[in-house]
Amino acid sequence: MRSGALRAALLLLLLVAAAGCRSALPPDGEQKPRHRIIAYVRGRAEIDRIGAHKLTHVNYAFAKVSARGEVVLDDPDAPAHLARLQALKAKNPRLRILLSVGGWGADHFSDAALDEASRERFAASAIELVRRYALDGIDLDWEYPGQPGPGIGFRAEDRENFTRMLETMRRHLDRLGVERERIGDDSYLLTIASSGGVYFEHTEMDRVHEYLDWINVMTYDFAGSWSPTTGHHAALYGDPGAPESRASAAAFVRQHLAAGIPAIKLVLGVPFYGRAWTGVRRENHGLYQPYESPGSGDYSYSSLRRDYIDRNGFRRLWDPVARAPYLWNEETATLVSYDDPVSLREKARFIEALGLGGVMYWEHSHDPEERLLDVLYDNLK
């Protein structure tokens, strides 16, 4: 056998070994965390204050896809943010830092996934950033394959091309792992942020999970300014009596499981922010009612604690069906949907009961005091 062919054969064997060792125990024999606790972190967060010991992974948001189909850091401060995130490993050596690519309104995914050449270019550019910033993996947040968005190009072929893009990324990351001797539990990671409902009509979720370490299911934003009525934007369960509440965390998880995705590969998403509506019809304490206008922007949990929860005319109420809290101001006819410590404990029990892989949250700057993170850590550590 010629030396080039021999090297290729050895590389193939090592790649197979890497794929087969992903569930292996850490080399030092320490016990792995029981669940993943994953923070999405943007540059506006107070990175140096993050309680790194409470987390298993950080997804830094966001890198973008350029018009040439390459993964780029368009924020000039991103390198400094990544350096500060890497410094958190001094507090928690097991912490893994991933670069999240995309986000709402991010374009050029469809072009980058279009053919073999474009997919190779996309993957090579992502690997270059992994090398340059000593990252532990890539998280793809394509919102959404095959669907229109704010100025987002899409194609019917996105359904199959998304799978091919992930296959290409997996191959590049595994090759880098062999080169750097990072296999088994230390392998480079590939994850995605997924949705439910029509998302499954435009993706091959029964196939893509084979290339992924896990899937961050965005089980929030079920209701908002786009909705005809108010509702829970992060309900754990839907209300059979309210057709407006068909979407729920449990329904999205069931959809993923029905596609054959192992429960351990599913990470439940929770929001650290609320959504509001004003001019709400004053029936049923404003829940599932028409409204005049949505509230302005997101309401961080820290601002909700400071100014809204049982303050300034707002009363905290609990929906025993959805297992979700909400705020109602009768005088101003304003409703706010959010997650709180009680609902997060319910979701932690749901994760335990179904054997899910853990929890992720969007995003850290909404809870700088880490009150919600503490609930997740205490219940899932």
Q: How far is CA 109 from CA 19, 68, 103, 152, 200, in A?
A: 26, 10, 11, 9, 17
Q: How far is CA 321 from the centre of its chain?
A: 25
Q: Report how far residue 266's alpha carbon sits from residue 256's, in angstroms, rounded to the nearest whole number.
A: 8
What is the residue whose two structure tokens read 């890539």?
A: 138
Handedness of CA 373, 376, 378, 381 (dihedral sign): negative
What is the residue whose two structure tokens read 């992720």?
A: 360
Burial 10-33 (b: 16+ CB within 10 A, else e): eeeebbeebeeeeeeeeeeeeeee
Three-class SS of 123-151: HHHHHHHHHHCCCCEEEEECCCCCCCECC
Q: Which helix (H) or strand (E) holds 208?
A: helix 205-208
From 70, 143, 244, 346, active-site residue: 143
Active site residue 370: no
Cβ-contact 14, 354 below 8 angstroms: no
Cβ-contact 161, 118 below 8 angstroms: no
Q: Report how far residue 273's alpha carbon sits from residue 366's, in angstroms, rounded to the nearest whole number.
A: 6
Q: Report how far residue 102's alpha carbon sits from residue 87's, in angstroms, rounded to the nearest whole number.
A: 24
Read off the DSSP letter of residue 296.
S
Residues with a known catalytic role: 143
